Amino acid sequence: MLKVYMPVVLGVLFFWGILETALYFYQKETQPVPSVSVQLEERPSSERVFVQVKTTEELAEKLKNFDRLAVPRIYIENFPGDFSWNADPALFVKALLPYILYQNEQLEAERKELFKISTKIFNNQPLTEQEQSFFNALVTKYEVFEVGPLSQAHELLQRVDKVSPSLAMAQALDTTQGGKINLDAPFGIYKWNEKGLYDRERYPTLEKAVEEYVSQLNKAESYYRWRGLRTIHRPTKYALPGRVFLKGLAPYEPDNPDYIERIRGVYNQYLLDNLDFAKLEEGEN
């Protein structure tokens, strides 16, 4: 009896196997393609040293091995409570500089990808799905309103670029009077608050303050002339001469004609020009 039904059983199993295989490939073809992440690989925060300090003395101890040609990857979450009383401009710069240089690392990597994509756009070559997604994300991130990929690529190449460390420090030292005030808003960025008032933006950490400052430099209209000067100087060996860029700050405080001279005075007072050659130390902590 078993011998009689064996061919039937085998036939059913064979047919079922074919049906299962066909169903598998049909489902695979009709499933929506998962979205592709186009974010650049970023150094995980666990690979950076974030520290909290309670006193200015403790901060000085943490940064005692500071070297502008190999800036330690040590990130102070906030200035200690007594810093404004014991304000030390040199220590202020040491605390902020690693954040600026880290942002420049991220911008450099982002620009590298953008440059490859822009080259394809300028040569009328098609972009891959991932390249197009990455390009669109940059258009949104940097608030580019130009129409068409050619115009957008040109504008992005002006915006996605490193910032001048010396300029960042000059503006921060000016805003905080050398580290005495506004330590939770070191770059003097104003925004409309919940009460409808145009007020100084306060930040929970130094990292957030620096991120916002760099973002403003690369997309705010008040810095458009500054970005233009940066683009002109990029092909030169000395691509980030912060002092040379000062005249590009005219739209930043249009009602204050003395602003540029004031910032130039900060440069002279604290000898900031050499910060444009500063680099983060190699390797991981």
pLDDT tens per residue, range 185-212? 999 998 888 888 888 899 999 999 999 9
Would the CA dihedral through 201, 43, 37, 149 be positive or negative?
A: positive
CB–CB of 189/220 below 8 Å?
A: no
Q: Is residue 162 part of a domain?
A: yes
Nearest alpha-carbon partner for 171 in 228, 219, 209, 225: 209
Max alpha carbon distance in the chain (Å)?
Answer: 105
Share of the chain above pLDDT 90, in %: 57
Backbone conformation region of residue 173, classed left if phi is above 0, alpha if psi is from -120 to 50, else beta:
alpha
**Mean pLDDT, the chain, as a whole number?**
82
Q: Are strands 198-200 and 190-192 parallel, antiparallel or unpaired?
A: antiparallel
Tally of domains in the chain: 1
**Token pair in block for residue 256:** 């204050």
Containing structural domain, residue 98: 45-277
Vertex 127 angle, CA 106 and 105, to 5°: 5
Residue 112 lies in a domain: yes
Residue 145 CB contacts under 8 Å (≥ 6 apart), including other chains: none
pLDDT the model gives residue 219: 93
Task: Check whether 276 has a pLDDT greater than 80.
Answer: yes
Residue 276 near residue 242 (C-beta atoms within 8 A): yes
- Crossing angle of helices 206-219/89-122, nearest 10°? 40
Q: Let me know if residue 212 belongs to a domain.
A: yes
Tens digits of residue pLDDT in 125-138: 999 999 999 999 99
Token pair of 217, please? 């430099």
Residue at 192 is within a domain: yes
More confident residue, 237 or 194: 194
C-alpha distances out from residue 54 to 14, 58, 61, 209, Å: 74, 7, 12, 20
CATH label of the domain that carries residue 161: 1.10.530.10
Average pLDDT over residues 88-93: 95
Has residue 36 been placed in a domain? no
Q: In this predicted model, what pLDDT tens digit does every residue of 48-75 receive, in sequence order?
A: 778 899 999 999 999 998 888 899 999 9
Classify residue 14: in a domain, yes or no: no
Tell me if 285 is assigned to some domain.
no
In a domain, 4, yes or no: no
For residues 254-264, average pLDDT:
85
pLDDT of residue 39: 45
